Structure formats: C-alpha cells, structure tokens
Structure 1
Amino acid sequence: MQSKYTLLLFFVTAISAVTAQNQQITLEEIWGGAFRTEGLQDLHSMNNGRQYSVLNTTGDSVSVDIYNYASQQKVQTVVSSNELEDIDSFSSYTFSDDESKLILATDVEPVYRRSRLGKYYVYDTKTKSLTAIHPEKIQEPTFSPDGTKVAFGYRNDLYVKDLFTELTIQITRDGAKNKIINGITDWVYEEEFGFVRAFEWNASSDKIAYLRFDETNVPEFSMDIYGKALYPTQQVFKYPKAGEANAKVTVFVFDLPSKKGSSVYLSNNSDIYVPRIKWTNDPNILSVQVMNRHQNDLNLVFYNAKTSERTVVLNEKSDTYIDVTDNLTFLADNSFIWTSEKDGYNHIYWYNSDGSLKDQVTRGPWEVTNYYGYDKTTNRIFYQSTQEGSTNRSVYSIGLDVKDSRKLTQEVGTNNATFSSDYSYFINNFSNTTTPPKYTLYNIKDGTYKVLKDNKDLASKLEDYKLPQKEFFELTTEKGHKLNAWMIKPTNFDASKKYPLFMYQYSGPGSQQVSNRWNGANDYWYYMLAEQGYIVACVDGRGTGFKGADFKKVTYKELGKYEVEDQIDAAKELGKRDYIDADRIGIWGWSYGGFMSSNCLLKGNDVFKMAIAVAPVTSWRFYDTIYTERYMQTPQENPSGYDENSPINHVEKLKGAYLLIHGTGDDNVHVQNTMRMVEALVQANKQFDWALYPDKNHGIYGGNTRLQLYTKMTNFIKDNL
C-alpha cells in the first residue's frame, strides 16, 4: 500500500506536469525576449579557410575570437575589451584584407534604417595598439585593400587617413547638410537601394570611386520631435516623393597620388540612378550600374580611370522593372557573374568581359534567392534557391561549365550558408516551423557535418507551452489563382465549432510571409491568439515573390489592386470552411501590409469585419520616388493607378471596425499618411480608432512601446472579432 505522502506527491507531480504542458504565452514574454534565439554574431571566415571569427559577449566583456572549423576549438582571442584602456566596449569589428588590423565600432547611434554614426578605432594585432580614426563620430570607415589607409564619411564629405603617418586628407570640400553629400547615400538610396557606403577602393589602393549627391532641388520633409524639453524641435531632411525631383548623382574617381578627382560621364540625362559601383580586378576599370528613372533599362558601364574611356558592356531592359542586386562578381579575366530574371525566373549568368554571354549557369521554374560566390579552385558557383518549393530554401553548388549540380544541405526548410574563404567549409543556419535555428558546420569535400548550436534550451522550454502547429497549404481562389498560405488553429481545435478568422499579410512586391522558417515575435502572438479561440491565417497573393517574374510583376502600375482582390477572395474561400465563421473575419498588416488591410476593409466591406493598419501608406503620392515609381511610374504618368487603389480615396466605404496606428517620427512612411487618412474619415463622418506613438519611427519600438502596442491590438481584436 502507498503512503499518503507518496499519493500526495504523485498528484502534485501530475498536476505540475499538466500545468507545465498547458502554459500560456503572454505578451510580456513575447516582448520581454523570453523566446529569443541564440546565434553566431558577426561571423567572418579567415583568409586561411580553416578558421573563422565571431564576436563574443561575456558579462561586460566583448571579444573577437577565432575558432578552428575542423575541431571547433577556440584557437585565439584577437582582441578583448578587457585589454583596451581607451574604450570600454565595442559593438562590431571589420578586418583589414590581410587581417593584421581591425576597425572597432563604439558609441554607435542610428541615423536612418541602415546608416550609423559612431566613434571608430583601428586595432593593430601586432603592436596591440588602438588608434582613433577621427575624434568625432563618422560614417562607414573602410580599410584600403593594402590596409595602410582608412576612408570614411564625415559631415557629408569624404576623408582618407593614412595609418602610418596618421595624417588625414579631405577628398571633398563641398559637403553641406541637405545640399551636397559625398561618399554616403541620401535617404532614398539608403532605403530603397539598400546601401549606405557610396565609395569604393580600387585593388591597388590608389583610387577611390564615390557618388556625389546634389540634393539642392529635392523637396524637404519635416517632422516634429517632441522629446522631453519644453519646446519640440524639428527634423528636416530631403525626401523625394513620387514624381518630385531626385538628387542629381555624379560618379567621381579620386586619384590619391596626384590628389585629383574627375567625374565620370554616364548619360546626357541627369535624371538617372546609379544603384551600384564596383571596381573590377583591373585597378583602372570601374564598373557602374546606371538605370533610367523608370528602372526598366539598366546599363553596366566599364569606365577606364586611366583613359576616361567608357563602354556599355551589358544592357538589360524590361517591360516592367529590374531589381538591383549585389551579385555582380568579377573573375580573374574580368569575365563576370550576373543574375537576371530575363527568362522569367531569377537565374545566374556568366558573361565575357566584353559583355557577350558565355552561358546561363542555372535554369528551371525556380528562383536563385542568394548568390554566395565563386570558387576559382574548383570552378564552382555556390547559391541558395527554391528548388525544393517556393516556401523553402536550400543551398547548392554547380560547375561554371553548367555541369554537376549538387545539393549541399540536408534538411527541408530555410537554409542559409556562410562559406569559408576557400569554400572548403560552410556554416549553415537552418530552421523550419518546428525547428529553431540550428547552426551546422559542413565539410564540402567529404560531406560530413557537425552541429555547432541548436537552441535546444528554447525548444525544451517551448514544450511546456504545447504550441499549435502552423499548417502550410495552397489556396485556390474562385478565380483560379493558386496562392501559398499557412493557418494556425487552436490546439484544442474542434471542427464542429465555428471560429473567428484573423488574417495577416504584407503583400509588397517580391515579399514573402508564407515561408518555412522559425518563429518571429509575431508568430508567438498568433499562437497566443489561436489559444484564445481565433484561427490565424496568412496568404501570399499575387505580387509577392519567389514564384517567377510574371506572378510577382502582375501588380505593375496597379499596386493595391490584384493583391487586395486576392486577400478578399482568400477570405471568402476560407470563410466557406465549416469551422470558420464567415461573419467574423479580420485582417491586419504593417507598412505595405497596413496599406493592404485598410484597402481590404474598405473594398471588401462585405467580407471583413475589422482591420488594423500600422504605419500604412494611404496614398502612394506620399511615398518616395525610387520604390513607388519602380512599380507605378510617376503620378503624372499614371494618376489612376495611384488614386484608384489608395485607401484614402475609399473612406466612404468603411463599415467595419478600424484601428489606425502610426509613429510620429516615422522618416519612412510619414505620419502624414495617417493624418490625411484621419481627416478623410472625419469628413466622411466615419467612426474609427487610432493611436499615435510620439517620436517613434517606422518600427514603433523602445522600452514598453511594443508591449503597449500589441496589448492595444489584442484588445481591439477581442472587442471587434
């Protein structure tokens, strides 16, 4: 017979086990970092191909440590903040080409989404010395290839510091706020072409090519900054809205020995874009990518800095638009690798140095989604693709002779590789909806692999929550469009009941939300909502990416038309299911997704009961030139495309519950969008809810902001769905 104590212990243990397995996710946990994953920070492959470095943080100490690929043993600490007298810590590092020096970043502050200001130091691994590059905060410090100099941007001008003499020369002298920028991109280039450093060293370290932006005629945008002082201040910056004047961009080449600069002639038309510059292996030959304003005509220009001769080696045209990438790679003979959608899918091409096509390296009804590089020793190209389906990513290699394609990764989901410098190893970051990020070392030569980090502690922790499953499926609309989708049902799902449906989407051109990867913060929110009795679904409609150019580019000149049709049609299709209450369907989105959710509630007012729009575009007339005109041309050329699909022009159709949210410090999608939407709704005598977050940018975060925001949205869903 068991004692009373034993029986009591048994029941307590059993109850504890049941309670643990039914633990509920809270917003405090989501936004408090309870489900954060571990990774490898600032991973860099060393030149020898046998080792790699990472940034490690232990307590108050930060270090750059080197590990051996094969043994996984730490072999060296390159630098530790404990050993440095002049700085307490650093947040990132960059090696010189010969790895004898590092640039360490300290006291870094954001400017816009990608740009940063900071104090930077050069650390010499031989002398153990630390030298400030500049006494003030600077931008984008970059070693010359020979490691003897550092170029950087400061107050809109470009400088070079000689690390031996410690003398700094000023390359440009006309930089002025909101007028002229040298070597650093303007707001719209940074946001839409995705780069900040607009200067490049040549191979022999004696020339720098850079972009000069003349913003004089670009209209200014101003934002009130409320802060904590008695009076608010204003942030004023140049922001070209669709159809307005862009900065005039000029390419210059500065010769350091002669201390002379010269401009590069590119076109008779000054209204052009220069989205990329890159030196070839020849230290005198600079490649420049030049696009027309419509972004459907791209020239790859070779400029000879010695003779001033320019040659268009490649021209690509499209009936819609051309996406800019960082995939251009020059081989030893200056032949080059290029990616293009010209056969209907994004693939890899190999061209001679004169621009004649040597071969199309990859082909098929799938997309190359990441180009990793070329190994000259084995003559192989390494890339990531959707060959296992548009929602998955796998890593492959293929011979430059278009033979012997090999799949290098093992598991189905999202694989992303970081290769060693000699392509003998790669560290793969893998995840899917049931597997948190797992970092695995692959030996390419013998095919063996070893798990480095697997986030097992997080996986074990989540077992106590008994999370619902994310189910992937293909949804076919009544019009016959086949769309990728996922759905989350409550763990205690009962098919005989009817559940409200809450839909999420982003829907922007070339984007993807239906992807077989590990959870983001929003996924945990969806799991929480599912456990509270909602079915959550996401559908990638036409216009989204990775299913071919035709599927992606169908929205050209009509942003918000076909994508909205697909969300409305998807909601109708899902509403036919016995377990979904077709009278209780809601939708939400952020940024482009907020533009979409607003349109869906208005144009689909017989389908959607409620919508939440965070930081939405409400008229494409308010957004920037590069992004908007890429897909819409200008408002002057395409007024109906702008106006017929902008929610600001359909407010009279509002029937359901609408929550509108924006940060007043949003430099990207300006709060002007929400203010104009509010005024239109007021004049239409429509009731709605809205919230402004003072001084918060497009991400609306900081302190308890995200927790308060998601609490507000959760309560709105419960009250209206």
Structure 2
Amino acid sequence: MKQSLGLLTLIAGTTSLLMACTSTAKSVGDATSQIRAPIPVMQPDVSKIDSDKAITLEQIMADPEWLGRQPENPSWSLDGKHMVFQRKTQGSVLRDWYRISTDNNEQIVTIEDEARHLFDADERILSPDGNMLVWRYADSVFVKHRDASPLQIRKGGDYARLDWTTDKRLLAQSGNRIVVIDPKTGVEKTVLTWAFADKPQAVQPPEDYIAEEQIALIDYIAKSRADRQVRFDDQRALKKANSAYSDEPVYLPADHELIAANVSPALNYAVIVSRETMDFRDDSDIMPHYIQEDGRIAAVSVRQRVADAQPENHHVWLVNLATGELSEIGYQSLPGYNEDVLADVKRENAEAKGETYEVNRLPRPITLLRSWYWTEPSLKWHNNGQHVALMLEAWDNKDRWIATIDLEDKTFITQHRQSDEAWINYRFNRFEWFNNAPTLYFLSEHTGYSHLYIKPVNGEVTALTAGAYVVDNLTATNDDNFIYYVANKKHPGIYEVYRVNTQTIEHQALTDLNGLIDYELSPDEQTLLLTHSKVTQPPELFMASAVTSTPAKQLTDTVSDAFKSMPWSVPKIVAIPSSHTDAPIYSRVYLPEDYKQGEPRKAVVFNHGAGYLQNAHLGWSNYFREFMFHSMLVQQGYVVLDMDFRASAGYGRDWRTAIYRQMGTPEVQDLRDGVNWLVENANVDRERIGTYGGSYGGFLTFMALFNEPDLFQAGAALRPVSDWAHYNTPYTSNILNTPDVDPIAYERSSPIYFAEGLEKPLLMNAPMVDDNVFFVDVVRLVQRLIELEKTNFETAIYPVEPHGFVQPSSWLDEYRRIYKLFEDEL
C-alpha cells in the first residue's frame, strides 16, 4: 500500500490520533454549566486590507467543494492502458469515476457504473507468465486471458486474498476455507478448512473413577463404545476416500479465533495464526449520541481504553496438507523472546510505591504485527511455495522479528530482528518477497532512519539505502532488478520518487517536483502515475517515465478559480535552532509582507495533531482549513508558526521517540524555542502570542498552558486528550507502555494532573460523538477545573460531530470562537 508521508493522518478512520485535522465546538457552557448567549459573529477587520479579496471565515470554513474536487484513489486500469481515479460528484456525497488513456491525447472519460469492474479492482494478480489477469471486484471474481474477453468465474462467496499456485491455479480464501480454482474451467476445490472446536470423537474418555469402573465392569458398555468407534472410523475413511464429501477441517482450540491463514502456492503446507478469544470492550465502553431521528439517545459502542488492555499472544500453526498434521510453532528460537525489556521501567514504578521488583524471564506475549496502516496480514509465502515469512512483534512494542519457518524442523528462523528501547514504529515495518529468488526486502529504522534492505533466506542483510532521510512506499519490478521508493533526500519536507538497482545499488531520481508525492507503477513498469501537491496546490495527477528522469506531465487541473484567486500566504520553511537537540526544528512560518515594520506583532502558534505527523513540508497539508485560517490571520498582521516539534514524522527515529514516557515535555520545550525565535527574528511581541491545535495539538495546548503559563497568553484546545489512560491501546501503549506497568509515564504525560497550572484564558472545543478522543476527556477536565476554582476557561460542545468535523456550520462556529479568543486576548 502506498500512502504519501504527508497524507497519513486520515487513513485510519477513527482508530488512532494519527488522523487529526483540527476542529470542534457548538453550544457553549461555562464552568457553572449555565447556557451562555451565542458568541457575537467575529469577522476580520478588512478596512485596512489592501488586497482585492479579504479572506473570511465564511469562505474558508464552507464546504470544501469550493476549492475544487481533487482526484482521489488513483490507480492503473486492469489492462494498464488507462489511469483511473475518483472525484467527488458536484453537490453530492457520491463519487464519479474517470479514466485517462496513456496515449498522447490523455483524454479524461467518465466510467459508467456498468463498466467499473473492467477498470478497477479491489484486488488483482497477474500470473507469473503474464498471460492471465485475475481480479476481484465487489463480490465477484473475474479472469482475463491475454487475447480473450473477461470471464466472470465467481459471483458471491466472499472470495479474497487471491494468489497463484505453482501449477497456475488460483488460490482464494472464502470464509473458513481456502480453495483452488481452475481459471480456465472455474472448477473449485477446497484445500484447507479450519474450525475452532474440539475434534469429534466416537467415544469420550471416562470423566471420573465411577465412569472408568463402569466401562471396565459392564461388557454392554464396552461393546457399545467399540461399535461406535468402528462406525466412526468407517465414516471417516469413507469421507477421505470419496470426493463427494467435504474435507475434514483442521481443528484448532475452541476458545481461539482467526488472525490469518495462508496456504503455500505449492499446496504442501498452510500456516494459520490464531489467538485466544478476547473481550476488547465491556458494557461501559459506550458513547451517548444525543441527536437521533427518533428523538432518543443512542448508546454507541466504542473501543476499549488502554487502561483496560490485556496482553495478547498469537499462536502460529503449521499444517501439513498431505498428512493433516498440525504443529504449533513456538517462539523459543526468537532471540529475546523472554527478555524482561521493561525491567527498568517496572523497577522505577515499584520503587515509587516503596516496593522492589525482581526480573521476570517468562516468555513475552508475541503477535503477528498488524496496524491500522495496512490490512493484509504479515504472513507471506514465496511464489515457489517452499518459504514462508512472518513479521512478529512483542506485545510490549520493543521488538520486531521477520522470521521464516523451517518446514521440516517446525521452528522459526530469525531473518531480521529490530529492537528499540522506546517502541517499534508501525509505519516502517513492511516486508515482501522478491518474485523470483527467495529473498526478502523490507524497511527498518534500526540505524535511526527508515531504510531499505534485502535479505536472502540463507544470506546476509544488505542495505540498499542509507543516510539522514526517510524511505517509504516500496514496489519491486517483476524481474526484481529494481525497487521503487519515495524519500525525502533533498529536504525533510520534499519527497520524490526514486529507484534502486538491487544488483549494483545505484540510485536514480525519477521526479523533481518539489513537494509531496505518491506513485503507482504501471503494469508494464514503464510509467509512473503520480499524485503531487505543493503548499498552495492541492493534489493533482501527473505522469512520468518510470525508467528515465524526464519532466512529469500534469494530467488534471481540478482546483477552482475561486481558490486560485485568493491571496494565500505562502509559508517559509525555517530550521529553528533547538536548545535541547543538535537538530533544528523545521517549521512553517507565515509572515505578513511588512512584518518587520511598526510595533511588535501578535502571533499564533499552531500545534498539529497526531503527534507522529509531519506538517512543515512543501506539499498540500491535510490541515487545509488551518492553512487558510493562517493566511487570514497574516492578512490582518499576525505572524503564524507551525512547528514539527519532536515526535513529528520525517526526521528519523530519535526525533520520533523523544516523547517516550514523557509526552508533552519535549514538544513544549520546542514550542518555547519557537516562541523565542519569533520574538528575536519575526518582530513578535512575547506578550501577544496565543496557541491552538486539535487532538494531539489540543493536548499540547493543555500541556503548554498548564506547565509553562508564561509561554502563551491564550490557548484553544480542540477535541483534546486530557488523560492518556482513556485513549486507545495501539497508539498509547507504544509511547507510554500500559498504565498497569508504567503509571509514572501516564501521570507525567496527562494534562489533567497539571490543571492547577492554568493561568491564561483557555477555550475547549469538544465534539460529543468523537469515538477517537472521547468527549469524557473534556468532561473530566472541566470538572477538575471547577474543583480547582478556575474561572478563565470556557467550553463549546458539538453534539453531532465526530473527531474530524463534517458540518461546515460546525467548522465555522469553532473558528469564530478561536478567532475571537485571539482577538480578545492578544
């Protein structure tokens, strides 16, 4: 899966903070819960603006359609002769589909509904000899031979995870079985089924002494048992010999559930991964939704909190398809499988309670590495069917192994181990097999930056990239001679497409567009379909050669004239010196043209969300409303600073993990460096600086106002985290471990413990149907502030909004309040 490094925050639905934009606020209540009068409409004072067009909140917070309807989900058509993309239907929530031919005309043509399956696929695979294409669209499977028309070979049945067998048949999973399908005849055969149940037996062993004696003493009982066994064995033999019967399933523990299953292309073995059935939420994990069609209140189920998380362990089973033998593959051969990697953390927490801690060498819970960032399991067979690899992760987040299975000895063989005292990064841990040789290629941060490596099963690891830059989005050619990737070699905020020769390790830059970029390699490996953006240019489609460094050609121009005509402020990317690290803090700085003239300016510092996200880049930001808001502020004489504080993406492992066990401390230190820079370099008045941000940015607003009250004169926290113990497990346990193991980290990192430090005005904007950062985070903090007798805060609630706002009226209301806060307090 390829996702541009600048477009990561909205991939995950609502599973993590790694999707924040900025938003929040509707009806307002103060500390005494009295309903306040609506805030006065705040609009920019445009009387002194010389520009032909004043930027207004009504315009920038309107339905984003006014910017234009940008291309979405670009891909190559099934035949490789067209580029396919979607675009929002004007005035609708629906999407239209388009195709662009690769000939010189590059004409954009609408794809009609009845033809979509001929151009798009949910999953597609090309046969090793290149003569057959099989794809899945909706609930059907299609096959196309080189010179024939497409043939629909399946409709219904929920087929997925397509692959080829070594004898050129199709492998697919359907429910609890894996089948092979002859793509020429459509004939299907089940090769593996599984069931989480006790294996059927003709007779059960005696339950106790009395039953045992009954069987031994009473011939009738003994004969009945023997007859049942004979009939049972006969029926089993008949089912095995007669093809009219279904194959017997592989029986796995009854209290387990499936994580992944994959059959070897050689049809000799299968690997199944399971876990004990777990309850990931209870009856208290609900979210009230007050605005319903029936006028009642809905109790919406939501995720479990990290404070309630229990260790998870996966079980890996090897199935011999010829004999039916089932073997569990233990983790004992993995280096470090029983290391007590959190011993120092546990000891520190024990000492804080006056207790002592003894090192524990019990096996660590280990799982198949999974993430919201991708959906396919980290379990992959090589095309030859003789090698299988899994990517495994310790549940404590401190180790990642890429391991193959010795099919004879039934043990793991470690191909690569990555350990981190902080946490293993989900983003840069993908692996694939070469198409031909049994060689793995993968990403790892073990040198401090995400880089590309290859590892033959029986060979040594070779680095294909190295340096102070980040590599992502890998695609190998069919002959394995090249791997394409995206990297920020030129500048931390500029991403381009490159390829490396896997034999000579020579690198070639294929684009030079200077912004954010993503790509899809054409099926014939000759052309790149690019998604490219710049600071003031939303994403558009381009095409470029995949073999030579030639200028890219723009294919779409979807940005509206209304947007293009506005006087947007183009931020400068500045490397602000850090007082705590050797590396600079890359930041976007928005400056009025005459900022050095006149009295010192007022300023706003914006805190991006997600924590692990990059915003000081040269591409279009997911925070496009904030970009426009900052331009409006600049038009009125404000200076705006948008920092990639420590924890941000794009700058390597050390920058990312600086917040381990101390969220909110390094970032606020960086914010102080940013404020000092503004005062010293941008003619800013230290006593007229405010801050705001959403999600993780709202959390940082809290931490800055509570712990460094002299830093900002006012702050707005939007859909903010106030207590990390209430957030989700995958994100939070990486950074803070879990509350039962490391309460010190949670109390050190959660704003609710520092609320007594609030001295400056605080606005909290909270969506009530936020299933990412729960509304209760604000509710609990408000009660805490009331009990502390604080009077300099107010809260706005948004009854129908999720974490990322949807309604333009809510966006407008929220930013009117933010704007009013800065106008009143700065």
TM-score (norm 1): 0.80
**Residue 474, structure 1, aligned to residue 572, structure 2:** no
**Residue 225, structure 1, aligned to residue 247, structure 2:** no
1:246–1:127: structure 2 CA closer, same or farther, 3 Å change rule?
same
1:698–1:158: structure 2 CA closer, same or farther, 3 Å change rule?
farther
Offset, 1:684 = 0.6
**Residue 692, structure 1, aligned to residue 692, structure 2:** no
**Residue 71, structure 1, aligned to residue 104, structure 2:** yes
Unaligned runs of 5+ in 1: 1-17, 106-119, 185-197
The one-letter code sitting in structure 1 at the alignment partner of 2:298 is T
In 1, the alpha carbon distance for the partners of 2:101 and 2:84 equals 9
In 2, the alpha carbon distance for the partners of 1:75 and 1:456 equals 12
- The residue that corresponds to 2:785 in the other structure is 681
- The residue that corresponds to 2:216 in the other structure is none
In 2, the alpha carbon distance for the partners of 1:521 and 1:613 equals 16
- SS of match in other structure, 2:466: coil
In 2, the alpha carbon distance for the partners of 1:129 and 1:554 equals 53
The one-letter code sitting in structure 2 at the alignment partner of 1:512 is Q
In 2, the alpha carbon distance for the partners of 1:232 and 1:170 equals 43
- SS of match in other structure, 2:816: helix
Offset, 1:225 = 3.2
Native 8 Å contact 2:83 2:529 kept in 1: no
**Residue 329, structure 1, aligned to residue 399, structure 2:** no
In 2, the alpha carbon distance for the partners of 1:72 and 1:646 equals 57
Native 8 Å contact 1:300 1:312 kept in 2: yes
- The residue that corresponds to 2:618 in the other structure is 516
The one-letter code sitting in structure 1 at the alignment partner of 2:667 is E
Native 8 Å contact 1:158 1:183 kept in 2: no
The one-letter code sitting in structure 2 at the alignment partner of 1:297 is D
- The residue that corresponds to 1:628 in the other structure is 732
- The residue that corresponds to 1:286 in the other structure is 388
Alignment partner of 1:364 out of 467, 479, 501: 467
| Deviations 1:273-322 (CA, angstroms, capped at 9, x unpaired) | 32132223342533222222332222222135677443222222223222
Offset, 1:181 = 8.4
1:130–1:432: structure 2 CA closer, same or farther, 3 Å change rule?
same
- The residue that corresponds to 1:541 in the other structure is 645
- The residue that corresponds to 1:273 in the other structure is 367
**Residue 565, structure 1, aligned to residue 683, structure 2:** no
- The residue that corresponds to 1:191 in the other structure is none
Native 8 Å contact 1:63 1:81 kept in 2: no
In 1, the alpha carbon distance for the partners of 2:255 and 2:718 equals 34
1:378–1:97: structure 2 CA closer, same or farther, 3 Å change rule?
closer
- SS of match in other structure, 2:544: strand
| Deviations 1:587-609 (CA, angstroms, capped at 9, x unpaired) | 11222111111101111211211
The one-letter code sitting in structure 1 at the alignment partner of 2:365 is D
Range with bigger deviation, 601-610 or 552-561: 552-561
Alignment partner of 2:53 out of 22, 40, 55: 22
Native 8 Å contact 2:330 2:411 kept in 1: no
Alignment partner of 1:143 out of 162, 181, 194: 162
- The residue that corresponds to 1:212 in the other structure is 274
1:498–1:698: structure 2 CA closer, same or farther, 3 Å change rule?
same
| Deviations 1:572-621 (CA, angstroms, capped at 9, x unpaired) | 33134563222121111222111111101111211211111122221222
The one-letter code sitting in structure 1 at the alignment partner of 2:367 is Y
- The residue that corresponds to 1:195 in the other structure is none
Offset, 1:50 = 5.5
1:160–1:581: structure 2 CA closer, same or farther, 3 Å change rule?
farther
- SS of match in other structure, 1:584: strand
Range with bigger deviation, 498-507 or 676-685: 498-507
| Deviations 1:519-541 (CA, angstroms, capped at 9, x unpaired) | 42321222123224432211112
In 1, the alpha carbon distance for the partners of 2:268 and 2:540 equals 43
- The residue that corresponds to 1:13 in the other structure is none
1:484–1:249: structure 2 CA closer, same or farther, 3 Å change rule?
same
1:593–1:215: structure 2 CA closer, same or farther, 3 Å change rule?
farther
1:456–1:379: structure 2 CA closer, same or farther, 3 Å change rule?
same
1:714–1:123: structure 2 CA closer, same or farther, 3 Å change rule?
farther
Native 8 Å contact 1:274 1:289 kept in 2: yes
- The residue that corresponds to 1:410 in the other structure is 512
In 1, the alpha carbon distance for the partners of 2:137 and 2:807 equals 25
The one-letter code sitting in structure 2 at the alignment partner of 1:287 is A
The one-letter code sitting in structure 1 at the alignment partner of 2:462 is D
- The residue that corresponds to 2:223 in the other structure is none
Native 8 Å contact 2:106 2:555 kept in 1: no
CA RMSD of aligned residues (A): 4.0
| Deviations 1:690-712 (CA, angstroms, capped at 9, x unpaired) | 13333543223246433433334
- The residue that corresponds to 1:245 in the other structure is 310
In 2, the alpha carbon distance for the partners of 1:158 and 1:649 equals 51
User: Aligned runs of 1:339-488 on 2, under 5 Å?
Assistant: 339-354=443-458, 356-368=459-471, 370-377=472-479, 379-449=481-551, 451-455=553-557, 457-458=559-560, 460-478=561-579, 482-488=584-590
Native 8 Å contact 1:159 1:171 kept in 2: no
Q: Which has the higher contact order (CA 8 A, sep 6+)?
A: 2
| Deviations 1:355-410 (CA, angstroms, capped at 9, x unpaired) | x4242111122222x13222254722221112111111122122223543221112
In 1, the alpha carbon distance for the partners of 2:820 and 2:273 equals 49
In 1, the alpha carbon distance for the partners of 2:611 and 2:823 equals 31
Native 8 Å contact 2:609 2:693 kept in 1: no
The one-letter code sitting in structure 1 at the alignment partner of 2:75 is H
Native 8 Å contact 2:84 2:97 kept in 1: yes
In 2, the alpha carbon distance for the partners of 1:80 and 1:124 equals 21
The one-letter code sitting in structure 2 at the alignment partner of 1:133 is G
- The residue that corresponds to 2:687 in the other structure is 583
Native 8 Å contact 2:398 2:424 kept in 1: yes
Offset, 1:658 = 1.1
User: Aligned runs of 1:87-106 on 2, under 5 Å?
Assistant: 93-95=122-124, 97=126, 102-105=135-138
- SS of match in other structure, 1:630: helix
The one-letter code sitting in structure 1 at the alignment partner of 2:102 is Y
- SS of match in other structure, 2:476: strand
In 1, the alpha carbon distance for the partners of 2:643 and 2:770 equals 27
Native 8 Å contact 2:699 2:751 kept in 1: yes
In 1, the alpha carbon distance for the partners of 2:95 and 2:609 equals 40
1:128–1:530: structure 2 CA closer, same or farther, 3 Å change rule?
farther
1:328–1:296: structure 2 CA closer, same or farther, 3 Å change rule?
same
Alignment partner of 1:320 out of 400, 415, 422: 422
In 1, the alpha carbon distance for the partners of 2:325 and 2:512 equals 54
- SS of match in other structure, 1:665: coil
In 2, the alpha carbon distance for the partners of 1:229 and 1:166 equals 48
Range with bigger deviation, 321-330 or 264-273: 264-273
1:420–1:604: structure 2 CA closer, same or farther, 3 Å change rule?
same
Native 8 Å contact 2:611 2:697 kept in 1: no
- SS of match in other structure, 2:675: helix
Unaligned runs of 5+ in 2: 1-48, 198-253, 333-361, 370-377
- SS of match in other structure, 2:489: coil
Range with bigger deviation, 371-380 or 328-337: 371-380
**Residue 234, structure 1, aligned to residue 299, structure 2:** yes
The one-letter code sitting in structure 2 at the alignment partner of 1:659 is L
Offset, 1:551 = 2.6
State how many pairs are aligned. Answer: 660
**Residue 43, structure 1, aligned to residue 148, structure 2:** no
- The residue that corresponds to 2:156 in the other structure is 133
In 1, the alpha carbon distance for the partners of 2:593 and 2:261 equals 54
- SS of match in other structure, 1:714: helix
TM-score (norm 2): 0.70
Native 8 Å contact 1:442 1:449 kept in 2: yes
| Deviations 1:166-215 (CA, angstroms, capped at 9, x unpaired) | 999975467xxxx988556xxxxxxxxxxxxx555654588775543435
Alignment partner of 2:806 out of 681, 701, 721: 701
Native 8 Å contact 1:438 1:451 kept in 2: no
In 1, the alpha carbon distance for the partners of 2:154 and 2:454 equals 43
